Amino acid sequence: MKTRFSIIFTLICMIILGGCSTDKPASQPDSNTDKQQESSTESSETIELTISAAASLEDTFNEIKPIFEKEHKNIKLLFNFGGSGALQKQIIQGAPVDMFFSAAEDKYDELVTQGIIAENQGMDMLKNTLVLIIPKDAKNSIEGFQNLADLGDGKLALGTPEAVPAGNYGKQTLEHLGLWDKVQDNIVFAKDVRQVLTYVETGNVAAGLVYKTDALTSDKVTVVSEADPESHDPIVYPVGIIKATKHMDEAELFYQFLQEDDSKDIFEKYGFTVLE
């Protein structure tokens, strides 16, 4: 009888103590855990950065992209390559761009003047050289700029001067040499410098004017002459962050990365001169 009473008394005490326990119910969420999960979700969010860049930068950025993305796994780089003038107009018209890397100072400076890029969020980064190229297996007698006066039925590929900086530098050079009026009827205008390179590679034109960096990427063309730097405006590449970017922190990370040694080595590998 006493044993049965002891067992019943013990069970009642256990029930009472269990009801008074300070332990949280298993289903009650832990606020710290929730915060950690939210933080983890935010840090794993992928940010897409859009960079509008001169067509002549395509090879360098294709090599820089995986290195940067490996270091910054939550940032994905999207590139919009083309003629600097066309890219500039897109930005002025409100294209969602985070950074602009131009092959001409005037196209870039206009965005600074309009307040689209802040002066303290940009810099002159690279220099390039203008060259005259011909198809590698060409049988014509073009050995330099002066031969362009005797193209006959041959064609000269050139970027549209108003939209393509390389085309503008090319026009300046031809005017400086007194050749512009003599070659105008032979010119085939292109949307960007890479299209000029393609025209020459395929033999559709007798010659073309491109940047040295473009010519170095191809084994299908021959450089016959370099333009005198005094014959055209300096070929300078400025880069800057667009004020309206929604990803300023990430844009600044990439902007700083472009100034690091790994990026500089790649620019130099492709024939650019890095400005200090």
User: CA 174 to CA 61: how far, in whole Å?
Assistant: 30
Q: Give the DSSP per-residue string, 31-55.
A: HHHHHHHHHHHHHTPPEEEEEEEEG
User: CA 198 to CA 202: how far, in whole Å?
Assistant: 6
- Residue 52 DSSP class: E
Determine whether the annotation assigns residue 225 to a binding site. Answer: no
> Any bridge partners for residue 236, and if so which?
127
Contact 164, 192 (CB under 8 A): yes
Contact 101, 237 (CB under 8 A): yes
Determine whether the annotation assigns residue 166 to a binding site. Answer: yes
What is the CA 246 to chain-centroid distance, rounded? 17
Residue 31 is which amino acid? S
Contact 122, 112 (CB under 8 A): yes
Determine whether the annotation assigns residue 193 to a binding site. Answer: yes
> Angle 36-40-43 (CA atoms, 0-180°, nearest 5)?
135
Residue 217: count other Cβ atoms within 10 Å of its Cβ: 18
Paired sense of beta strands 156-159 and 187-190, if any: parallel
Q: Which residues are annotated as a binding site?
A: 56, 84, 166, 193, 211
Q: Which residues are annotated as a binding site for molybdate?
A: 56, 84, 166, 193, 211
